Amino acid sequence: MHKLARVRVGGSNPIRVMGIINTSPESFYKKSVFTDKKMIEKTAKLMEEDGADFIDVGGMSTAPYIKTLVSEDKEIKRITNAINAIQKVSKLPISIDTCRAKVAEVALQLGAEIVNDVSGLKYDKNMVDVLEKYCPSVVLCAFSNELVRGNQVIQTRKLIGQSVALALKSGIPTSQIVVDPAIGFFRKKAQGVLFTKISSDWLQRDMLILKNLNHIKQEYPILISISRKSFIGELLDETDPAKRLYGSLAAETFVALNGADIIRTHNVKATNDVVKIVKNLENLKKGL
């Protein structure tokens, strides 16, 4: 049985919803950015009321197409402020979206229960030591420092396997591991440091991955983060992330029907509605 923090995930469990609270003004979707403590409290409380199962806190944007690197101290200050605010109003498990060991450790000391590392534990060599010390649940993204060629479904599985091996080596139980195929992070070129270089078309790669989630996840629950991302903008010819809600919901419906176990989103209420409708229609199909 797999758990992400205190919540059972994967298998016959319902699709879970992870709400996003960004504290980084450089994030690609400005309406997801909250820096004021009162606004963070209000947002976290609303997310819980709207049916979120977890809240994911980020202190540095990881969007690959913009320069986003900030100092560790700044990232720590941002996430400390956010975690304290969330804990005042919500008992939901908190996930820390970071690839830096020092930031993860501070978050875990403050009570975060999940480390969501877009580098799959490969960016900061000290991350495995933090995992060994605190034994949190982990979300492991597909990531490589080297050019990835060939069949992207096979390569994504391989990269996730490498990160799973690192987590297991640091003592994380299999039951506390969730995987993420990193939609939006495989690019031909990028300005940020947290992306995987590919020679093929990134849009085709992302769509291929979304069609093959069950081949990628193997025995681990899979988390999908597609809310308002670039591929939706490309398909809709819409440059403004604020205008990608309906596209996001359509894509989330697709992944809910194709193997997603957790959906990470900016739009908790809307995504939760998607999950409920999909569940009810699938149950109806079983009963026919």
H and E: helices and strands count for the chain: 10, 12
The CA distance from 83 to 94, in Å, is 8
Q: Does 283 have pLDDT greater than 90? A: no
Q: Quickly count: other Cβ atoms within 10 Å of residue 269's Cβ.
A: 15
- Which of 135, 130, 57, 129 is closest to 92 using CA atoms? 57
For 141, phi then psi, to 5°, come to -90, 150
Contact in structure between 241 and 32 (CB atoms under 8 Å):
no
pTM summary value:
0.93
- What CATH number belongs to 2-287? 3.20.20.20
Tokens of 248: 């996001």
Q: Which residues contact 100 (CB under 8 A, 6 or more apart)?
A: 72, 75, 123, 124, 127
Tokens of 245: 């809600």
Contact in structure between 78 and 24 (CB atoms under 8 Å):
yes
Position 155 scores a pLDDT of 96
Contact in structure between 22 and 194 (CB atoms under 8 Å):
no
169-217 per-position pLDDT tens digit: 999 999 999 999 999 999 887 766 678 899 889 999 999 999 999 999 8
Q: Which residues contact 112 (CB under 8 A, 6 or more apart)?
A: 57, 83, 94, 95, 96, 136
Contact in structure between 85 and 46 (CB atoms under 8 Å):
no
| Single-letter residue type at 154 | I
Average per-residue pLDDT for the chain: 91
More confident residue, 36 or 102: 102
- Lowest-pLDDT range of 9-13, 29-33, 103-107: 29-33
The CA distance from 104 to 225, in Å, is 20
Tokens of 74: 């700044």
- Lowest-pLDDT range of 35-39, 166-170, 200-204: 35-39
Contact in structure between 24 and 288 (CB atoms under 8 Å):
no
